[in-house]
Amino acid sequence: MEKLHIIKIGGQVLNHEAVLHSFLKDLQQVPEKKILIHGGGKLATRLADQLGQPQQMVEGRRITDADTLKIVTMVYAGLINKQLVAQLQALGIDALGLSGADMNCIQAKKRIVGAIDYGFAGDLGHDSVHADKLHALLHIGCTPVICSITHDGKGQLLNTNADTLAAAIAIAMNKRYEVQLNFCFEKKGVLRNSEDDSTLIHSLTEAEYHTLREEKVIHQGMIPKLDNAFSALNKGVHKVVIGHSMDIGPILLNTNNYGTRLGN
Amino acid sequence: MEKLHIIKIGGQVLNHEAVLHSFLKDLQQVPEKKILIHGGGKLATRLADQLGQPQQMVEGRRITDADTLKIVTMVYAGLINKQLVAQLQALGIDALGLSGADMNCIQAKKRIVGAIDYGFAGDLGHDSVHADKLHALLHIGCTPVICSITHDGKGQLLNTNADTLAAAIAIAMNKRYEVQLNFCFEKKGVLRNSEDDSTLIHSLTEAEYHTLREEKVIHQGMIPKLDNAFSALNKGVHKVVIGHSMDIGPILLNTNNYGTRLGN
């Protein structure tokens, strides 16, 4: 099967010009097909501050009221997506920016109101990602750049977690491709001590993950990312790597000693 | 040749829910292939006001400094584009939102600084529209929804006039399609008296246009739109109609007595 890289771009790439430049130059060297996924939470929070619209977060998830939905749509689907696409085009990568509404490539459901009303937050189901649409775009030579805005198919845009979206796309695409899912963020990978890069865990099985989690070695912020990652592996994704945005080149080229490789 | 509608959507459609609803329902009835073009100046000006960034306009053209470019990118490519796409999807139209950077479908040049520095304004040349890219998307069943943000191919986004963009796309597509270019705005068409809908001019040749312009019957705001329209006709576009957004159904279906038909 042909190889496909799904790459979740972290906030650091989007907020630092030098990191972005390094990331894009690395990407240019990778011959395989690619899909990029991004959010842009920090920039959205900054715009909300400028507009005097305080943001409410619950366990790292944004409460998306109607005004906040407009803000994240402007920042993710507009500013960040188009800046990324223009810079990829300048490097000769035929990027195409997408929200889930575009070509109906990802259809979500508004999160059911429980103890907390997350507003216009979109949850993904097993049939949310329309892999045939993404395949058609890859087939005509495009590199999709997908922001974490989806829709419900009835005209409503929804704000969806970008890590979850990346995992769902990886799972949906693995019928046609040998998928490597890459989460890029501001750490070297999964660390035993989150402040010390030299404590990088080079490979991690699900059993080891559960042990480290019980021992509280793996800290809170990493848990949803790792849950998404192991869920993808268990649903047939070939390989998952978590690493630093500056190391995306060696990670995509599968050079050892970069990032944390997940697998059983 | 197969028919293709290029439809420039005016501000009124984007700012009034009832007009938008009527417009989209009409669009749903039109079986031919379609490309939609939009800007969103009024919403951009509103956001700029909220952010305390006063906007400078010269003869109806926005001076696009770096901060203004971010605003128009967020509003046109983000908010308006994705809301339109989501609503079209809800009506069963397989919309795909695009800026000129996406798939490099429209590459512009930053306007040369003359007496006035328009900042990041993008001008179109004869080879700016990459018709093959748009054709590939139409071919796989998509309806492109193109906002008036382009790029220079070197990583820089640019703000481009939406009327000019619509005309340039119409001209570029006419090698493969019988193109009808439709400008929708807040008037019934070209009026002898801009305050009186009953003075609608049903058809207008270029010679008649020049006469009416000399007689000052055609007012300032219509001149760039009509210049774009006749330029498109002279370059092989099959038909150009200017009319009200609420009349888009009959205009696209070529019902008489709606809009102003331009031709020689």
Judge whether residue A59 has pLDDT over 90.
no
Please give the pLDDT value at position B147.
Answer: 98
Helix A131-139 and helix A162-173, axial crossing angle in degrees, nearest 10: 80
Contact B75 A78 (CB under 8 A): yes
Q: What is the pLDDT of residues B204-217, one digit of tens each?
A: 999 999 999 999 98
Please give the pLDDT value at position B103.
Answer: 98
Please give the pLDDT value at position B259.
Answer: 94
Please give the pLDDT value at position B257.
Answer: 82
Q: What is the pLDDT of residues A201-218, one digit of tens each?
A: 999 999 999 999 999 988
Judge whether residue B85 has pLDDT over 90.
yes
**Contacts of residue A201, Cβ cutoff 8 Å, sequence gap at least 6:** A189, A190, A191, A192, A212, A260
How far apart CA B139 and CA B45 sit, in angstroms, is 36
**Contacts of residue A255, Cβ cutoff 8 Å, sequence gap at least 6:** none
What interface predicted TM-score (ipTM) does this complex get? Answer: 0.95
Contact B90 A157 (CB under 8 A): no
Please give the pLDDT value at position B133.
Answer: 96
Residues of A in contact with B102 (CB under 8 A): 82, 85, 95-97
Judge whether residue B32 has pLDDT over 90.
yes
pLDDT confidence of B21, banded at 50, 70, 90? confident
Plot region of A78 (φ>0 → left; ψ -120 to 50 → alpha; else → beta): alpha
Which candidate in B93, B104, B160 is best for mutational testing of the A interface (most A CBs within 10 A)?
B104
* Mean pLDDT (whole number) for B38-59: 93
Q: List beta partners, residue A37.
A: A8, A146
* Mean pLDDT (whole number) for B175-196: 92
> Are the C-beta atoms of residues A193 and B122 closer than 8 Å to each other?
no
Contact A73 B90 (CB under 8 A): no
Please give the pLDDT value at position A144.
Answer: 98
Q: What is the pLDDT of residues A188-204, one digit of tens each?
A: 999 999 889 999 999 99
Token reading at A157: 């845009």
**Contacts of residue A241, Cβ cutoff 8 Å, sequence gap at least 6:** A180, A181, A182, A183, A189, A251, A259, A260, A261, A262
Among B11, B34, B3, residue whose Cα is nearest residue B163: B11
Contact B76 A76 (CB under 8 A): no
Please give the pLDDT value at position A101.
Answer: 98
Q: How far apart are the first and last CA of chain B?
A: 21
The Cα diameter of chain B in Å comes to: 50
Contact B85 A101 (CB under 8 A): yes
pLDDT confidence of B13, banded at 50, 70, 90? confident
Q: Which contacts of B187-196 are long-range, i.e. CB under 8 A and separated by 24 or more positions? A: B187/B244, B188/B243, B188/B244, B188/B247, B188/B258, B188/B259, B189/B241, B189/B242, B189/B243, B189/B244, B189/B258, B189/B259, B189/B260, B190/B218, B190/B222, B190/B226, B190/B242, B190/B260, B192/B217, B194/B219
Judge whether residue B14 has pLDDT over 90.
no
pLDDT confidence of B74, banded at 50, 70, 90? very high
How far apart CA B176 and CA B168 sit, in angstroms, is 14
Q: Which residues of chain B have a Cβ shorter than 8 Å from any chain A Cβ?
A: 47, 50-51, 70, 73-79, 81-83, 85-87, 89-90, 94-99, 101-104, 136, 140, 142, 149, 151, 153-157
Bigger pLDDT: B149 or A61? B149
How far apart CA A173 and CA A168 sit, in angstroms, is 9
Please give the pLDDT value at position B199.
Answer: 94
Judge whether residue B220 has pLDDT over 90.
no
Instruction: Write down the pTM of the prediction.
Output: 0.96
* Mean pLDDT (whole number) for A67-95: 97
Q: What percent of chain A shows pLDDT beyond 70? A: 100
pLDDT confidence of B151, banded at 50, 70, 90? very high
Please give the pLDDT value at position A12.
Answer: 74
Please give the pLDDT value at position A99.
Answer: 98
| Count of Cβ atoms closer than 10 Å to residue B174 Cβ | 20
Contact A86 B140 (CB under 8 A): no
How far apart CA A75 and CA A82 sit, in angstroms, is 10
Angstroms from B177 CA to nearest CA on chain A: 21
Computed over every residue of chain A, the mean pLDDT equals 93
- The strand order across the sheet containing B239-244 reads B95-98, B143-147, B33-38, B2-9, B177-185, B239-244, B260-262, B203-204
Q: What is the pLDDT of residues A164-189, one digit of tens each?
A: 999 999 999 999 999 999 999 888 99
Contact A149 B83 (CB under 8 A): no
A252-261, B65-74, B234-243, range with the lowest pLDDT: A252-261
Please give the pLDDT value at position A207.
Answer: 95
